[in-house]
Amino acid sequence: MMTTMSCHQGEQMKLHQLQALIACAETGSIRAAARSLDISQAAVTKALRELETSQQLPLFSRTPSGLNFTEYGKVLLTHARLVIKQLEHAQTELDHLRGKAQGRLCVGVTPWIALTFLPEVVVAFRERMPEIHLELFESLMAVAQPLLRDGSMDFAIGQLHPTPSAQEFASETLLDYQTSVLVRQGHACQGARSIHELLEQDWTLNYAPDGHDRLMQELFWQHGARIDEKRIVRAHSLAILQMLLERADMCTWGPSILSMAPPFLGRLVSLELVEQFEPRQLSIVTRRNGALSKPALCFTDCLLQVIRRHARSAKKEDRQLFETLRLRL
């Protein structure tokens, strides 16, 4: 396997140099990087010096507290992680062909999938690929995008919003799901029938860094509603959203299915407002031009099988779930 990449100056970046770069970023110092790579500090220092020399650019500065990456260093780090990730994928593919499926799969999972179908998906995947180390993130897309970008995450199960930064990602839609305004059971505005009745309430919402205007348009502006944005708390996890809904009496907007999924069943209410919201799409989101590995394809296949099984089920709880879902595949 080739371990070098051509540089603009005709020099070549070597695999061990990229590994040293990544280790320094992840551990914060040359000493810790050397320990993680099981090599000497001198070897790490030499690798970094050679990398800077070949690029003729300052990649980092040394401070008493560790290494600070320059803008050049941050760009190279992103690509270095992608290179290492692709090599890991190649090794996993070869191991699979040898009959020794090994490696790591990192998946971002949108919270409502985690609360409904994920346990069965994980059981099915582990039966088919027990040697793969599975790592799961509860991953709202605002959290997932940076991890997809730098190669830390193989793919995400969520909605890719059409924002400027989304152009670097690709998505394959699995199903459509309805959204609604959600409040806790017993909220003073539980009987509200219009978004205009909720403008004096406090809200907690999640959105990507460049997705603010799109969310405001979809939830408020298109309905002629203007809200004082100081009333909005931006939350980056489902646990925070839940606490703010249940203990701070805030409103949120999200998948209607949340009100029917444990642990929210009987605790959250989906409001029936006169304003209508466009269905959203649950998709497999990857870096554009990035091929899914065999384990990733296996995981998505397990997910589809579990969803289809529930869609065909006659159980009351499954029928309730699929009142707000529509399969695409």
> Who contacts 168 (Cβ-Cβ below 8 Å, separation ≥6)?
149, 287, 288
Average pLDDT, integer, range 79-99: 70
- In terms of Cβ atoms closer than 10 Å to its own Cβ (0-12, 13-18, 19+), residue 267 is middle
In whole angstroms, what is the distance from residue 199 CA to residue 196 CA? 6
**Which pLDDT tens digit goes with each residue over 100-113?**
656 889 999 999 99
Q: Determine the residue type at 28.
A: G
Give the model's pLDDT for residue 92: 64
Mean pLDDT in the chain? 86
Give the model's pLDDT for residue 29: 83
Per-residue pLDDT band at 80 (split at 50, 70, 90): confident
Which of 103 and 296 is assigned the larger pLDDT?
296
Least confident of 23-27, 81-85, 162-166, 275-279: 162-166
Residue 83: both structure tokens together? 């290179």
Residue 75: both structure tokens together? 């760009």
> Who contacts 279 (Cβ-Cβ below 8 Å, separation ≥6)?
176, 177, 178, 179, 326
Specify the pTM.
0.69
In whole angstroms, what is the distance from residue 38 CA to residue 32 CA? 10
Say yes or no to pLDDT of 36 above 80: yes
**Which pLDDT tens digit goes with each residue over 49-61?**
888 888 888 888 7
**Which pLDDT tens digit goes with each residue over 186-235?**
999 999 999 999 999 999 998 877 789 999 999 999 999 999 999 999 99
Average pLDDT, integer, range 262-278: 91
Q: What is the dihedral of CA 143, 203, 213, 269, to 10 degrees?
A: 80
Which of 263 and 224 is assigned the larger pLDDT?
224
Q: Which domains does the chain have, with CATH numbers?
A: 4-80 (1.10.10.10), 101-177+281-327 (3.40.190.10), 179-278 (3.40.190.10)
Percent of the chain with pLDDT strictly greater than 70: 90
Per-residue pLDDT band at 269 (split at 50, 70, 90): very high
